[in-house]
């Protein structure tokens, strides 16, 4: 009767087997994979890519070079931020200088389907050749399928230079 109790209290020293080695290896590999996925996810969630900056204003032209009452096409470069990526892109605006030196800059895309429009001097209107939308010099729709007036850039004049900012939000 004493022998079965002694067998239960004896410590069994089992050396590692191939099976326990593989189980430990697989668990370790899965832990490393989980860590490799968790670290970038934590960085994405807890560290925003960049803080929002104020709108960037771009110097475009000297105000004295823009004729009064005639739309002028002005090309400029602006920076666009997309997450961590900053790209410099060329942009164009139709600029109209009013007699009181107020300046309006229109985005170069028709509000119908985003086609490029042009200034037609004889009719004194902006015309989109794709779908025949017609806009007045102040950007209002005169005809065609365009659903709203032309989009405008924010503008300001600093030391005699025209500066163009972001597109104004729709009213």
> pLDDT tens digits for the chain (171 residues)?
555 555 555 666 667 788 889 999 999 999 999 999 999 999 888 887 666 566 688 888 888 888 888 898 988 888 877 777 888 888 888 899 888 878 899 988 888 888 888 888 898 999 888 888 899 888 888 888 888 888 998 888 888 888 888 888 765
- Determine, yes or no, domain membership for 23: yes
CA distances from 148 to 105, 134, 161, 164 (A): 16, 11, 29, 22
Same domain, 88 and 131: yes
- Determine, yes or no, domain membership for 32: yes
Please give the residue range of the domain that contains residue 87.
58-167
- Determine, yes or no, domain membership for 52: no
Which residue from 95, 139, 93, 97 is spatially nearest to 116, judged by alpha carbons?
93
Structural domain total, the chain: 2
Same domain, 12 and 95: no
- Flag whether the pTM goes above 0.85: no
Same domain, 36 and 65: no
- Determine, yes or no, domain membership for 36: yes
């Amino acid at each position: 009767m004493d022998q079965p109790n002694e067998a239960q209290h004896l410590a069994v020293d089992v050396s590692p087997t191939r099976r326990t080695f593989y189980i430990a290896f697989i668990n370790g590999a899965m832990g490393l994979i989980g860590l490799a996925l968790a670290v970038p996810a934590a960085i994405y969630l807890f560290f925003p890519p960049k803080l929002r900056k104020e709108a960037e204003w771009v110097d475009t032209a000297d105000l004295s070079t823009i004729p009064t009452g005639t739309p002028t096409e002005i090309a400029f470069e602006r920076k666009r931020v997309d997450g961590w990526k900053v790209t410099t892109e060329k942009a164009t605006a139709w600029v109209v200088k009013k007699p009181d030196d107020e300046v309006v800059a229109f985005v170069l895309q028709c509000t119908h389907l985003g086609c490029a429009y042009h200034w037609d001097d004889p009719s004194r209107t902006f015309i989109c050749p794709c779908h025949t939308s017609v806009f007045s010099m102040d950007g209002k729709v005169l005809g065609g399928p365009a659903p709203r007036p032309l989009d405008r850039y924010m503008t300001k004049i600093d030391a005699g230079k025209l500066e163009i900012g972001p597109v104004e939000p729709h009213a």
